[in-house]
Structure 1
Amino acid sequence: MMYEFKVGWCPFCDQGWVEIVKNQMTEELLLYCNECNTNWKTYDDFKKDDIPAYFRQYEEVEFEVDCEAEFSFNIIKPTYQEIINIGWDKYIFKD
């Protein structure tokens, strides 16, 4: 299923879904826009759309990347259990 773990529409680019993803290198879950690669460490940060998240894009991730393609490559789909474990299952859109 495409966008299985979507939590909302990106407030920054207004073109993509924000999904719960896993950083393959740190094993942390984060929220990530599939269009502009903006990411948020917490759901509360995502809901604060008054701050342009793009300017925090790379400082919120605990590893350095040289380009968007490399960053996207390190993003994988988490398991539903991993999402439940941090309490983010309640944010997932139910279609």
Structure 2
Amino acid sequence: MRKTELTELTEAGFKLDCLKSKLEEVFLERKKALSDRSWIQQLEERLKKTELTLSDLKAELDKEKIKSAAAAKVSSFQFIDYLLRRFFLSCFSIS
């Protein structure tokens, strides 16, 4: 029964106070349920955005790890090259 129908019956002289209060209670419960669903939907959207951000950060971290490992290898090779040159120069230098 809609609120307007309830109002019409009340105006016609029917005593519907109990039904009216129950209708108000159901209306408020429905309104709260809709509000709760809306809040849940907002939380789900925030979670999706956070998961995307986390995924982007993980990808960036992986790229940085690869760069760092490559740089470490280059540095190691350069250091070894430097040591070998110094060694050979010291061994074969004319005094």
TM-score, normalised relative to structure 2: 0.19
Q: If each structure's helix is expressed as a fraction of its own residues, which one has the higher value?
A: 2
Q: Which structure is larger by alpha-carbon Rg, 1 or 2?
A: 2
* Bigger RCO of structures 1 and 2 (CA < 8 A, at least 6 apart): 1
TM-score of the aligned structures, taking structure 1 as reference length: 0.19
Greater strand proportion: 1
